[in-house]
Amino acid sequence: MNPIYLALDFSDLGSAIAMAREVRDHVGGYKVGLELIWRAGPEAVEAVSELGLPVFVDAKLHDIPNTVQAAARSIGRLGARFVTVHAGGGEPMMKAAVAGLAETAPDGGVLAVTVLTSLDEREFSRVGFRGSIGDGVDSMVDLAVVSGAEGVVCAVSDLRSVKERAPGLLAVTPGIRMPDDSAHDQERFATPAAARSAGADILVVGRPITASSDPARAARLMTEGVLGVL
């Protein structure tokens, strides 16, 4: 399985589809996030899913259980393979997401977002969490397991703990950068090889591919490098 999922972080659907087609032979799936969903609407998920690769809908659902269940049900109808929910919403909310998605996408899975990779220890504390980021991730991983989530979204630095605590969960890592890339808005990032070596099952990659002068070549080289790690 190709672990590279391309983040289609575009403000218009035409550009997103053009990029998705350009790199289709060199990635394992696509991520459709908030920017594209809010600009192009839910049909963005349907359009990307028609390209034939798994679609990871990064909706980051976080609301009362009934609302989240209805939202997950609707997203499943669009062709989503994965849907994200914030683990901070608690066990009842995540269970509701799992149930809602199962109604319309029996093969779909919920991914529990642990701690955003844009947060460092200082910001983590400022928003009201106690303990370290690692402590928070551990608690959220436990919630993901009991809620029936298929996996978690976490930083590469948290992978070892996640895999030891819940080896059956998929580990999805954003914040992937090549050694000479800018960190942009990521505080906790890593190279594709480091992420794969640490146990990542899916690597979400955006700007290192989409901002390249030759996206298809960038995607191919990244995939070859990652698959050669293990």
Q: Which residue type, as a one-letter code, is found at position 130?
A: R
Q: Which two tokens stand for residue 178?
A: 């090549």
Residues 31, 60, 95, 163: which is the catalytic one? 60
Backbone phi and psi for residue 140, each to the nearest 5 degrees, phi listed first: -70, -35
The CA–CA distances, whole Å, from 49 to 21, 52, 154 equal 12, 6, 24
User: Alpha helix (H) ranges present in the chain?
Assistant: 13-23, 34-40, 43-49, 65-77, 91-104, 121-126, 133-147, 159-165, 192-198, 207-210, 215-227
* CB-based contact 187:119 (threshold 8 Å): yes
60 is known as an active-site residue = yes
What distance in Å separates the CA atoms of residue 94 and residue 90, rounded to the nearest whole number? 6
Residue 209 DSSP one-character state: H
Q: Which two tokens stand for residue 217?
A: 């070549």
Which residues participate in catalysis according to the annotation? 60
